[in-house]
Amino acid sequence: MSLVRKALDIFWSPAVWLPPNITWADLEPNDKIQYADYRHLLYPFPMAILMLSLRYLMEKFGFAPLAMSLGIKASKPKKAPPNDVLEKAYQHNSKMKHKEVLGIAKQLDISERQVERWLRLRKTQEKPSTLVKFCESSWKCSYYSYSFIYGILCLWNKPWLWNINECWTNYPHQSISSDVWWYYMISLSFYWSLTVSQFFDVIRKDFWQMFIHHIATVLLIMFSWVCNLHRAGSLVLLVHDLADIFLECAKAAKYAKYQKFCDAIFGFFTIIWIITRLGFFPFWILYNTAIDAPRIVNTMFPAYYIFNGLLSLLLVLNLYWTSLILKIAYNALSAGQMEGDIRSSSSDEVSDDSGISSPLDSNNHNPLTNSKPK
């Protein structure tokens, strides 16, 4: 136990997490200042379970009936006929080369065409239906809409929304209000739920980029909470939520075959994405945390640099997804409408003409997203 205690003391050293000459005792909640309490970071775990339950109920009793009313059917793809040899080969390597296909065809005494057809059916039967994808996008669109509206209402009367340097006034002696507390707790619970549900949702080619994004967002939220950087963190959440609303809305419109509406929303989304993710985020928030903050606070600490490192990682992911978005936009202009899905709906890159690229998930999923502090 003494070794564990020593390790925890080293990990939670004020020299790492807090500005010089500040101790954890200085940040205990009191009658004057209600500091962020690191123990409250446990609340989002049960809240994430509630979030997943809410999603299930909304998809089953809300979004699924809506989808069917729009003509989206819960159709199941035709299954490949049972074949132990082909199934074993498929499980070993789902992307067989011509020589492997030829070898199996000879082994089973069937044609190459029959093997290729079986493989196509086998891949297709793992693809989620359009109904499933519509419900997923509708859920995320609903959450991001709520989160952005709540964020605006929450921060509207906060001085740091209008003067970002207020993020560092009297730092770290800054009280956290109840509305910002809920903003953080609900956002963190959502990203925890996304981290779990990502393994069950539609699997796309940027699966691991999205996973890194969710982890970076969770770490940012937790880092900014523990270090009392919630003012900057709340701005990151707000900036990253907006574009995700229109992304998920465009995807849902695509699945419902409202092509013109999808095209219009996607065009609007592209503009909002560039303004928020490549404009406000790097030149307003990241510039302030990296350049202005040291001049205001004077002396920084290791956790501050980790915080900025995670913000920089989100910027890199934003740049990666921007390249995908611009590729989609270029293809759309060339074809006259949104076609296909750069983030294919399965990791094996089976063609998916019913989808639309989703550079986030989420997420955002959204940094603090959610690029989320997404």
pLDDT in tens, the chain (374 residues): 678 888 877 888 888 888 888 888 888 888 888 999 989 999 999 999 999 999 999 999 999 999 999 998 877 767 778 888 888 877 777 778 888 888 888 888 888 888 888 888 877 776 778 898 999 999 999 999 999 999 999 999 999 999 999 999 999 999 999 999 999 999 999 999 988 888 777 666 667 777 887 888 898 899 899 999 999 999 999 999 999 999 999 999 999 999 999 999 999 999 999 999 999 999 999 999 999 999 998 878 899 999 999 899 899 989 989 998 998 888 877 776 555 543 444 443 333 333 333 333 333 334 343 333 33
Distance CA 241, CA 363 (A): 9
- Please say whether the beta carbons of 244 and 210 come within 8 A: no
What pTM was estimated for this model as a whole?
A: 0.81
Could you give all domains of the chain from N- to C-terminal order, each with its CATH number? 28-73+128-335 (no CATH), 84-124 (1.10.10)
CA atoms of 365 and 310, how far apart (whole Å):
15
189: Cα separation from own chain's centroid: 12
Tokens describing residue 116: 């290729």
Query: What's the Rg (C-alpha) of the chain?
Result: 24
Residue 176's pLDDT is what? 94
